[in-house]
Amino acid sequence: MLSKINNFDKIKQRYDALWECEMVDRPPVRITLPNKKQKNLDQRKYKNLKAKWMDIEYRAQNQLLNIENTIYFADAVPIVSPNMGPEIFSAWCGCGYEFGENTTWSMPCIMDWEKDTLKAALDMEHPLFETTEQYTIQSQCHRKERLLVRLFNL
């Protein structure tokens, strides 16, 4: 998808400058519009909300379809975001994790800082860490072209 962006090097310069509190020629401007013809995946039914969130293959395909359904203008570029929710890092560090329809949240794992401090440690073998990693890989696997992939909410 990056091949469809004619001036990616200039766009990258603008975003790099933005993060350095500088400006190349102007601030980056991101404008997107939906394509007239929209493609959709068939909706799936799940036994629970966790199953919906954990269906990373379907979610990755849906994100890529959304990119195809979008026209990019100015400094907008196609980006996939393998999002497992706003508090996923807390889950990787031992907190319980709840799945809602449109968001997720963690359950506290430290009740007493003196006793529970060691509970909060990054576990790169945590099932949700591995799922996020697989989701990131899936986001790239379905495409023949290169895409930008970002992790957020960390």
Instruction: Please give the Cα distance from 98 to 84 (Å, whole number).
Output: 11
- List, for residues 41-58, the tens digit of each pLDDT value: 999 999 999 999 999 999
- Domain parsing of the chain, residue ranges: 2-35+44-149
pTM of the model: 0.82
Residue range 131-153, pLDDT digits in tens? 999 998 888 776 666 778 887 66
Neighbours of 11 (CB within 10 A): 21
Strand 148-149 with 79-80, pairing: parallel
Residue 22 exposure: Cα atoms within 13 Å on the Cβ side:
6
Tell whether the model's pLDDT for residue 27 goes beyond 70: yes
How much is the pLDDT for 5? 79
User: To the nearest whole number, what is the mean pLDDT of the chain?
Assistant: 90
Average pLDDT over every residue of 104-131: 91
What are the distances in angstroms from CA 143 to CA 12, 42, 48, 77, 139? 21, 19, 29, 15, 8
Strand partners, 72: 32
